[in-house]
Amino acid sequence: MRIFRIRKYFLAKNTKTYIFTADVIASKWQYALKAAKENRIRNWKWVDKFDFSLVQYNEFEYMHPVKEKDAQAPARPDQINWKWRTA
């Protein structure tokens, strides 16, 4: 498993834009990004805030792989909660 850094932009309407990063343990960067979009990442670290926004949205982007010694509290994503229907 490798460690990937993901960036999150959180914009709430008429407030500042907040930037967070998280180091995610995954086999591929695509899986780490997908977990972030599915809100399964819990180790977000605040980086900065800037500008005001007129709309509300969350934006995620893959930044780069991280070496183990440079990672900041890497964590695996939460497991997917499968709910099976029984007949």
Does the residue 51 lie in any domain?
yes
pLDDT at 42: 92
Does the residue 80 lie in any domain?
no
Tell me the backbone φ, ψ of residue 9, rounded to 5 degrees.
Answer: -105, 125
Does the residue 42 lie in any domain?
yes
pLDDT at 64: 93
- The series of mean pLDDT values per 10 residues for the chain, 87 residues long, is 92 85 94 92 90 82 92 84 57
Does the residue 85 lie in any domain?
no
pTM above 0.85, yes or no: no
Instruction: Domain count for the chain, please give it.
Output: 1
Q: Which of 2, 6, 5 is nearest to 58 (CA)?
A: 6
Handedness of CA 22, 23, 24, 26 (dihedral sign): positive
Does the residue 30 lie in any domain?
yes
Does the residue 84 lie in any domain?
no
